[in-house]
Structures are given as structure tokens and as C-alpha cells.
Structure 1
Amino acid sequence: MTLVAPLLILLLIGIIEVARYATFAIMVGNAARAGVQYGAQNMVLALDSNGMATAAKNDAQNIAGLQNPSAGYFCKCSDGTASTCLPTDCSSSHRLVYVQVTVSGTFNSMFHFPSVQNTFPVSATATMRVAQ
């Protein structure tokens, strides 16, 4: 039993770190989705990149190591061709507008071991079509 206890403790530490990393990644993804949900409501909000970034930050208030979210919009034609978001684009189809938010953060592990990296970058991008 005395030989197994240190191995079980190391295994438990590994399980805790994986669970913390998974939780951190889920929170970063949720923040990105909150940002696109704000921007996808209508065309006016789709142009509000600061509002989308703020919505993502507000959702991620408990995330330490969060960098500033990036937000924006882009367009495609419904037939799959590229669009520059001009009203004259997509002559044979209609224009679809999408919003996209990227949230990044740095996960810091609770336990530090020699020659093992203790910070890990986490990034999530969410894309959603704007209601028109």
C-alpha cells in the first residue's frame, strides 16, 4: 500500500489538472458564443465589434489570463461564392452576413513539475449567421 499511495496521488493530481483545463476551455468557448449571440441579433449589432467583445468579456468575468476578444463580421453569398459585404454582391443569390468572435486565454496549472510546461494557451472561435 505504501508503494501505491504516491502513484495514486500523482494520478489524482493529473486528473485534477485535466478537469481544470477542460473547465477553462469550456468557459473560453462559452464566452466566444456569448459574443456572437449578441452580434447575431440584427445587422446593427453585427457591426458593433466592441459590443460583441464586451459581451464575451462579461461572460468570462471569472477567467484569469483572458486576452481581449476579437470580434468582427464577414459575408458570403448563399450560393457559396465570396462576398465583400457590398449590396451589389451576390447578383444570382442573396448575401449572408456572419459574425465571428475569438476569445483566447492562458491556462496556468496548479501544480508545477520540473521540465513540464505549466501554462497552456486556450482559444475558441464562434461564428453565427446574423438574423436578417
Structure 2
Amino acid sequence: MARNWFGIFATLKKWRGHDSGGALVEFALTMPVLTLLLAGSVELARIAYTSIEITNASRAAAQYGAQNSTTAADYDNSSAQNGGIQKAAAIEASGLNGVTTTVLISGMCSSGASCTGTSNAAGPTCKNTDCQTNSGDHIETILNVTSSITFSPGIQIKALPTTFTLSHTTVQKCLNC
């Protein structure tokens, strides 16, 4: 027995109704997902920007301090942050508020041997006579500059902390110390 398939399709099409508004429903279903994706991308971009700024601030401060013995000693690890090394970091990260820069000075012998002098909060008090492994061995001043900032994301998620500390440490040998 032959059926009229076209009649069945016509009946099914009547039951299905019209397609008007389908795109609007799809848009309404995908919009929250797209909004969350966009917000997450913006937060990731903010974190990346802040991290790059902190890295650049640490490098600029280390480069300033590594010029000579005067600039290497131009730091203030107190809360005032008034040293030249801290100011170099603040200028480099001028788009950020609350950047903290700390400096640690260490010394090592040019041959790679460890310095045998005494060390204090300001760094080693090594003398060239403390490096006796090779003739011409002398003290090299090493700057460890750490810049950091507390980052607060714009979107708070209960499973994550409300603040993050972003930091970068740059190690630089003082050139003319």
C-alpha cells in the first residue's frame, strides 16, 4: 500500500509550527556564558598587566641600583620607600598603586667562592681581603630587588582568595661597585 509521504511531511510541518524567535532563544541561552567568558578574559588581562608592570618595576629598580656603589646603597626598606631604587620601581610601575620594593645586597668573590665576611641587614661587610682564593679575586656586589603588590580581582569567587600577592625578584650584579 502506497502512502502519501508528502501529506505526512505537511502534517508534521503544521505540528512543528513556525521557526520565528529561534535565534532569540539561542541568543538568550548563550549570552550568560559569553558574558562570563568576557569577564574572565578581562580579569586575566588585568592580572597579566599587573604582573608585567611588577616585573618591569623590579628590573628597572635593579638596573638603577647596579650602576655604581652609590646607587646600590640608595634604598630604603622601611615603609616610607624613599630610596632611589624604590623610586625607580615606582616610576616604572606608575600605573599601579601600592607597589612595595625591597632590596637585599649580598656579596660574592669574583672567583665564585663565598665571601667569608660578616653579614648584616644592610648586606655583607666583606672586604677584598676576604676573597683569597685567586690573585685578583675581589668582592662583587649582588642586588636582589623584589617588587610586589597586592592584587584584588574585580570578580570575587568564594572558592578563591579575595587578594593575591604578585611579586618578582630581579638579581643583578653591581657593575662598578
- TM tier, smaller: 0.7 to 0.9
Give matches, 1:44-63, under 5 Å: 44-49=70-75, 50-63=83-96
**C-alpha displacement of 1:79:** 2.5
SS of 2:128 mapped into structure 1: coil
Pick from 39, 63, 66 the counterpart of residue 37 of structure 1.
Answer: 63
> Are positions 1:105 and 2:131 aligned together?
no
Q: Does 1:11 align with 2:37?
A: yes
Cα RMSD over matched residues?
A: 1.7
Report how many residues are paired. Answer: 131
Which residue is 1:78 aligned to? Answer: 110
Tell me the CA shift for residue 72 of structure 1: 3.3
Distance 1:124 1:66 in 2: 11
Greater C-alpha Rg:
2
Give CA deviations for 1:8-45 in whole Å, capped at 9, x if unaligned: 21111111111110110110111111111111111221
Distance 1:129 1:39 in 2: 9
Could you tell me whether the CA contact under 8 Å between 2:131 and 2:139 is conserved in 1? Answer: yes
| Divergent runs of 4+, >6 A | none
| Secondary structure, counterpart of 1:26 in structure 2 | helix
Amino acid at match of 1:86: K
Query: CA shift at 1:109, angstroms?
Result: 1.0
Is 1:87 matched with 2:113? no
Between 1 and 2, higher relative CO (CA 8 Å, sep ≥ 6) is seen in 1
Tell me the residue number matched to 2:98: 65
Identical pairs, percent: 35
Q: Which residue does 2:160 correspond to in 1? A: 116
Structure 1 portions without partners, runs of 5+: none
Alpha-carbon deviation of 1:71?
1.6
Bigger share in strand: 1
Q: CA deviation at 1:94?
A: 2.9
AA partner of residue 162 (structure 2): N
Long gaps (5+) in structure 2: 1-25, 76-82, 118-125
For residues 73-132 of structure 1, what are the alpha-carbon distances to aligned partners after superposition, in whole Å with 9 as ceiling and x for unaligned? 211112222124322122223322112211110111122234433321111111111112
